[in-house]
Structures are given as structure tokens and as C-alpha cells.
């Protein structure tokens, strides 16, 4: 694990076209040494899950700013589980109200949720930390 | 100013520079939100080549640097137009009537994502998105509910709609007819700016060529039938929100504008037949002076090019009229009340820059669609500026400031440099196809984020003076029932309407789409028999195909 680059799929599920954040994060992760694949816009849940499987990624990052997160995130989680990708680290970023954030985490739909004001460093640190822990355990 | 006086000023300036050299300098760099280094002081040396008549002129006269109307706000204040829409047509109709009661002077419709992308509420693609980011509109029936008890001969409406603009516009026109208002009377704006969808807002449907054809069909139809309608709102707002600098916003927006002018001319229209109805839409970001200069430069560039390059003769073709919205991306989720202050300074820059209409963001818009309380404060912000601050009393009051004039000139020159680069790539469409514009914006966005993360760019309450206190603010929640109710109503409409007529209108539309007929009368006909937006879009997709983006970051 230590020598292999972490592979990340960053995805824009749903119809939302706000891609400023996802592109900045994609670039930040790449600059931090990860292998980054970006799906582009307007992906269905199905398409995201299929790409994650095909690209054999370690992390899936979903960017949603349209308010559809409570529908899309659980669906993608479910599809990932169905294809045997339960161990993928599932991260969400965007305009996610605190109550929704807590619910997504409590129900295990997402491993972590990042919201406005979080830095690139916080996101990259979280990913590196997660893989360090899984390697150590 | 004569040469001798300038020389003297130059000597004095050098003395001043010497004095300042050894003084303490604040650690925060003197840089704008766009990364521009700002000079500490400007003097008459920076404006010595300024020719008042040629470069500024009087308000309402060429090159319109000082404003497009001769009496500006002395005659009439800007239109206070809050962008709004959520849930279903009933919810939004209530909000519109509330805003009009509070003294708002125009309406501005925000549609939900499925409507923006051309899907009906019952499409699989719409799941979870109905009524979330704006109001859900599927058919003429929704449009009738949306403007119930709102007289369309008295209120002007702006609609933020692009890929399917022709369809929503036709629904609005058909509804006006049903209200007994003639098309000659209705006034408003459709955004209808597909080029910035490809580069920034990303709600596209069709590929560029058929999209440009729909736009020029709208130009031609409006010129004949709907003379008070602004057929396009060429938008820098989304380019800026996507992370561009002020100069990129200025340059890419105007380049798009010129591309529409060329498309109109190439479709056989005389420039003065459609150019008077072109309008613009800019962002008001947080750097106060840079924004003011952006608006002034924009008016001057537009007037000069329209006259010199495109041979426009009607003065209205040379006047850049624009709407402004304060910068959503400048707002913070932390301590959202601070957003009221950000919005106030941004709104002030738009007013000092001579905007024709203005939307002030609500403090909670970084978190959700605005609550009624938040939107009221936002509207009151404009009213305080208009009626208490005195800033509307004098026209273009910052003109002649060494700083303002020097920066206006500089931004104009930088925009011209971008026009040259775009021309070298073969024009706006090739520049989009090659990803040039998208990459410039993405680079600027990334640089900005790095500056914020490093603390070089201060955002109060975020990377400085962050107390970490939890926020206490009431947010607007969209009831999940909205989606269910909308689907039921759509289902009932489909059962009720004349299916044969609908199918026939869609068939005719397809036939014309494959020819070079103007499509607006056909879309109008389909809308009148309650064909849905999704049905019309999918008929057109059969002929036009769909746009696909090459993702880059």
C-alpha cells in the first residue's frame, strides 16, 4: 500500500453543474500524490458505481451542491456495496446541512462529509490517515 | 495638464516614493480577490492620456463609460430584482407575491435542476432534484400557477434558463396571452446564453450549432413579435462563480457577446434589428474598486466594438445594459450574518458601476435557498442604498479618480489581450472545444483556493477570527412531498390533455427542426397544447443530438 498510489474517483452525480469545487479538490488530491479520475458532470448513480468498479479505486468522492444528496448518496453507497466495493472510502463534499451530514454518517452512507470552509489539506490528510490506519490494523 | 506640471508631479512622486520606501508595510499583500497587485497611489501621471470626450463622454452618450442613460438613477433607480424560486409553482407564486408586496420591482425566476436540464419531474434523471434548487416547471399549467394573480403587463420577469430557454419563454408568452396581455406588451429577459453553459454553468442540452440556431430564432421572433423582451442575458456571473478573475469575467463575457452578434449577422439579421435587445449579467465580487472598473470598462469595450467592428448605428445597439448579482462564492457558511456586510459592499459597487438591475444575495444562500427573513434583509439592503445612502444622487461619481480611470483602462487592455488569444484559437467556439476558457477559469479557481488555504487571502470568520461557534440560523427546508405532488399533477395533466394534438405538434416541430424554419412558432404551438418541457426537449434531441463535455480539471 505504501508504495502504491491511492486511486480516487471524484464524481458529480445528479444534474447539478457546479463543478468549481470538484475540480479544485481533484487537483488538490493529484498535487498531494494521488491518482485522480474525474467522471465529469451529470452522472447517474449507476454510472458512478460502474466507473468506480472499472477503475478499481480506493476512494470515491462525490460532489453535490444541488440538495439531492439524501437521495443520491445512499443510492451510490448501495450500488457500490452490491458490486462488492464495501471497503471503498466514500466521501461527500458540497452544500450539506449539518443535520443531513450527521444522518449520512450515522447511517453509514458516507465515511466523511466535507463542507464549505474545509481546506484541501483537511481532505488529503483524512484520506492519507484512513489508509495509514487500515494498513496498520 | 501641461507637460511642466506633469514633470513637477513626477518629481514629487519620486520624493513620496522615497519616503514610503522605508516605512512599515502591512503583512497582508495589496492584492485583489483576482490576484491583481494594486498600486499604493495613483496620480495625474496615470491618466495623462485620458481624453474626456473620447474615453468617457457623457452619460447616455458614446462610449457610455459613465452609464447608458443620460439621467441614470436621477431619473429612475435600478430595478430591485431578487432571484427566487423553490418547490412547486404554488410555493414560488406565494414568494413572488410576498416580494412584490415588500416593494420589489421585478421578478426573477430560479428553476430547479430538471427544468434547467430539460427533464420533466417524472424523468428518472429528476429523482431527488424536483423543486430543490428552484421551482419545478413541466408545462404551461405550471407557468399559469406560477404567475397567478401577477399581471404580466405590469411586472417584468427575468428567467434564468438556457438550454431549454425557447421552451420556457414560449410557456411565459402563452400564459401572457391567456391573461389577455399582448406579446407587444410583455417585458422581461431570458438568460438564453448557451456559451457560458459550456464554460461555466454547465447546464447544457444540445450541441453548439443547434443551440446557436435556437438563439438566433429567438432574436428574429422577438424582433417581430415581442419587442420589449431582452432576448439574451450574456452572463459573466457564472464564469466568475466558477472561479474566474474579474478580467476573465469581463473578457469571456464580452467575447461571448460578440459571438452572438456574429451569429445573428450570419443568420441574415441586420445588427441593429437584434442588438438593442441584447443584455448582460455580471457578478459583483468583493473587491470594491476592481468591480466598478470592470463595469465601466465593459460598457466602453462593447460600445466601441459594436460601432467600429460590427457597424451598428442604432445607439441602443451600442449600450451595454446589465443586471448584477452579488457574489454567491464570496459568502461563507461560517458566521453567515457577516454575509450581509459582504453583500452590501458588493451591491454598492454594482450601483456605483451603473447597473440597471440588481439581486442581492441573502445571508443564508451558501447553506440553502433563502428563508423569507433573509431575503427581506437582502432586499432592504438595496433599499437602504437607494434611499438613505445618497449614492444614487450623482451620476458615475467616481469618474476622474486617478485610480478608477487608470484601472478601467488597464482592465480594458487586459480584456483586449484575451480577445486576441481567443481570435488566435479561431473564436469562442473553438476556444471552448479546445478547453482554453475552461482551463483558464479552473486555474484561477485553484490559485484562489490555495491562497485561502495558505492564509494569504483572508476570509473573515473562515481562516481568520474563526471562533468555531456553531451557527444559529433558520434555514428553508424543501418538503420531500413537493416531488410527489408535482408528479401527481403532471400525471393528471397528461391524462387530461389532447394527446393527439400534442403528438402532432411534436411531429411538426421535429420536421421543422430538420429544416431551417424558425422554430419558435412551432414550440409555441406545442406549449399551447400542454406538451411538456421534457417532451419538447426529447423531440429536439432526436434531431439535434446532445452535448458531451470532455472533463478536465
> What is the three-state SS of chain A?
CCCCCCEEEEECECCCCCCHHHHHHHHHHHHCCCEEEECCCCECHHHHHHHHHHHCCCEEEEEECCCCHHHHHHHHHHHHHHCCCCCCEEEEEECCCHHHHHHHHHCCCCCEEECCCCCHHHHHHHHHHHHHHHHHC
pLDDT number for residue B478: 81
Q: Is residue A1 part of a domain?
A: no
Domain of residue A33: give its range: 7-136
Contact (CB<8Å) A26/B133: no
pLDDT number for residue A67: 84
Contact (CB<8Å) B368/A97: yes
On chain A, the residues whose CB falls within 8 A of the CB of B366 are 95, 116
Contact (CB<8Å) B242/A19: yes
Q: Which residue among B126, B242, B333 places its CB closest to the CB of A115?
A: B333
Strand pairing partners for B202?
Answer: none
Residues of chain B that touch chain A, judged by Cβ-Cβ distance less than 8 Å: 113-114, 116-117, 119, 124-129, 132-133, 197, 201-203, 241-243, 329, 332-334, 366-368, 442, 445-446, 449-450, 452-453, 462, 475, 478, 549-553
Contact (CB<8Å) A23/B553: yes
Q: Which residue among B449, B452, B478 places its CB closest to the CB of A67?
A: B478
Rounded Cα distance, B332 and B130, in Å: 26
pLDDT digits (tens, 9 = 90+) for B97-130: 999 998 888 899 999 999 999 999 999 999 889 9
| ipTM of the complex, rounded to two decimals | 0.89
pLDDT number for residue A1: 47
A8 phi and psi, to 5 degrees?
Answer: -125, 130
CB A117 within 8 A of CB B332: yes
Q: Which of 3.30.497.10, 3.20.20.240, 3.60.130.10, 2.40.30.10 is the CATH number of B52-426?
A: 3.20.20.240
Cβ neighbours of residue B257 closer than 8 Å, sequence gap 6 or more: B234, B278, B280, B302
Rounded Cα distance, B423 and B407, in Å: 24
pLDDT digits (tens, 9 = 90+) for A75-90: 999 999 999 999 999 9
Q: Specify the CATH number for the domain of residue A12.
A: 3.40.50.280
pLDDT number for residue B474: 79
When divided into structural domains, chain A yields a total of 1
> Closest chain B residue to A74 measured between Cα atoms?
B128
Could you give the 3-state DSSP secondary structure of residue B146?
helix
On chain B, the residues whose CB falls within 8 A of the CB of A100 are none
The rounded Cα B156 to chain-centroid distance in angstroms is: 16
Could you give the 3-state DSSP secondary structure of residue B345?
helix
DSSP secondary structure letter of residue B112? P
pLDDT number for residue A133: 77
Q: Is residue A71 part of a domain?
A: yes
Query: Is A3's pLDDT higher than 80?
Result: no
Residue with cell 465515511: A111
Query: Domain map of chain B by residue range?
Result: 52-426, 488-544
Query: Is A135's pLDDT higher than 80?
Result: no
Rounded Cα distance, B270 and B261, in Å: 10
Given a cut of 50, the residues of chain B with pLDDT beneath it are none
Amino acid at each position: 500500500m505504501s508504495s502504491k498510489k491511492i486511486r480516487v474517483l471524484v464524481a458529480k452525480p445528479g444534474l447539478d453543474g457546479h463543478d468549481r469545487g470538484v475540480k479544485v479538490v481533484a487537483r488538490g488530491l493529484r498535487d498531494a500524490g494521488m491518482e485522480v479520475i474525474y467522471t465529469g458532470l451529470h452522472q447517474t448513480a449507476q454510472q458512478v458505481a460502474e466507473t468506480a468498479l472499472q477503475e478499481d479505486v480506493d476512494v470515491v468522492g462525490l460532489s453535490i451542491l444541488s440538495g439531492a444528496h439524501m437521495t443520491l448518496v445512499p443510492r451510490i453507497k448501495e450500488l457500490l456495496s452490491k458490486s462488492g466495493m464495501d471497503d471503498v472510502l466514500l466521501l461527500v463534499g458540497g452544500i450539506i446541512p449539518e443535520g443531513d451530514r450527521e444522518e449520512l454518517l450515522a447511517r453509514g452512507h458516507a465515511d466523511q462529509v466535507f463542507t464549505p470552509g474545509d481546506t484541501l489539506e483537511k481532505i488529503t490528510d483524512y484520506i492519507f490517515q484512513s489508509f495509514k490506519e487500515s494498513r496498520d490494523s | 495638464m501641461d507637460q511642466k506640471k506633469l514633470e513637477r508631479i513626477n518629481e514629487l512622486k519620486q520624493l513620496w516614493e522615497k519616503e514610503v520606501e522605508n516605512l512599515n508595510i502591512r503583512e497582508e499583500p495589496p492584492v485583489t480577490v483576482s490576484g491583481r497587485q494594486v498600486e499604493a497611489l495613483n496620480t495625474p501621471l496615470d491618466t495623462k492620456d485620458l481624453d474626456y470626450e473620447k474615453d468617457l463622454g457623457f452619460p447616455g452618450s458614446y462610449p457610455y463609460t459613465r452609464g447608458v442613460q443620460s439621467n441614470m438613477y436621477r431619473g429612475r433607480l435600478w430595478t430591485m430584482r431578487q432571484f427566487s424560486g423553490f418547490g412547486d409553482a404554488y410555493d414560488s407564486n406565494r414568494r413572488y407575491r410576498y416580494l412584490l408586496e415588500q416593494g420589489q420591482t421585478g421578478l426573477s425566476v430560479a428553476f430547479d435542476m430538471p427544468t434547467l436540464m430539460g427533464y420533466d419531474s417524472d424523468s428518472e434523471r429528476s429523482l431527488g432534484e424536483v423543486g430543490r434548487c428552484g421551482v419545478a416547471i413541466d408545462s404551461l399549467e405550471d407557468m399559469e400557477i406560477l404567475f397567478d394573480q401577477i399581471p404580466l403587463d405590469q411586472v417584468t420577469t427575468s428567467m434564468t434558463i438556457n438550454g431549454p430557454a425557447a421552451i420556457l419563454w414560449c410557456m411565459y408568452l402563452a400564459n401572457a396571452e391567456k391573461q389577455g396581455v399582448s406579446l407587444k406588451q410583455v417585458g422581461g429577459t431570458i438568460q438564453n446564453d448557451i456559451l457560458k453553459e459550456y464554460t461555466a454553468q454547465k447546464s447544457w442540452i444540445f450541441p453548439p450549432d443547434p443551440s446557436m440556431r435556437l438563439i438566433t430564432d429567438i432574436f428574429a421572433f422577438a424582433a417581430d413579435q415581442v419587442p420589449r423582451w431582452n432576448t439574451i442575458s450574456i452572463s459573466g456571473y457564472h464564469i466568475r462563480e466558477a472561479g474566474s478573475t474579474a478580467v476573465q469575467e469581463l473578457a469571456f463575457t464580452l467575447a461571448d457577446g460578440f459571438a452572438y452578434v456574429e451569429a445573428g449577422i450570419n443568420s441574415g439579421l441586420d445588427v441593429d434589428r437584434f442588438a438593442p435587445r441584447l443584455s448582460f449579467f455580471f457578478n459583483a465580487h468583493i473587491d470594491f474598486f476592481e468591480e466598478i472598473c470592470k463595469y465601466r470598462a465593459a460598457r466602453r469595450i462593447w460600445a466601441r466594438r459594436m460601432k467600429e467592428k460590427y457597424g451598428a448605428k442604432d445607439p441602443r445597439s451600442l449600450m451595454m445594459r446589465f443586471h448584477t448579482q452579488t457574489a454567491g462564492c464570496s459568502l461563507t457558511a461560517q458566521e453567515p450574518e457577516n454575509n450581509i456586510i459582504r453583500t452590501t459592499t458588493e451591491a454598492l459597487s454594482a450601483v456605483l458601476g451603473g447597473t440597471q438591475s440588481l439581486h442581492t444575495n441573502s445571508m443564508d444562500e451558501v447553506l440553502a435557498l433563502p428563508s423569507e427573513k433573509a431575503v427581506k434583509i437582502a432586499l432592504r439592503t438595496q433599499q437602504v442604498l437607494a434611499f438613505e445612502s445618497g449614492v444614487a444622487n450623482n451620476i458615475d461619481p467616481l469618474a476622474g479618480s486617478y485610480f478608477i480611470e487608470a484601472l478601467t483602462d488597464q482592465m480594458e487592455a487586459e480584456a483586449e489581450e484575451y480577445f486576441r488569444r481567443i481570435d488566435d484559437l479561431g473564436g469562442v467556439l473553438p476556444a471552448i472545444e479546445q478547453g482554453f476558457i475552461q482551463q483558464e477559469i479552473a486555474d484561477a479557481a485553484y490559485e484562489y483556493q490555495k491562497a485561502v488555504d495558505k492564509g494569504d487571502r483572508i476570509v473573515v470568520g473562515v481562516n481568520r477570527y474563526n471562533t468555531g461557534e456553531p451557527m444559529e440560523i433558520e434555514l428553508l427546508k424543501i418538503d420531500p412531498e413537493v416531488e410527489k405532488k408535482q408528479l401527481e399533477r403532471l400525471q393528471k395533466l397528461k391524462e387530461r390533455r389532447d394527446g393527439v394534438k400534442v403528438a402532432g405538434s411534436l411531429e411538426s416541430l421535429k420536421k421543422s427542426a430538420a429544416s431551417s424554419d424558425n422554430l419558435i412558432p412551432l414550440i409555441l404551438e406545442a406549449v399551447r397544447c400542454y406538451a411538456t418541457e421534457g417532451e419538447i426537449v426529447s423531440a429536439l434531441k432526436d434531431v439535434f443530438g446532445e452535448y458531451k463535455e470532455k472533463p478536465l480539471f
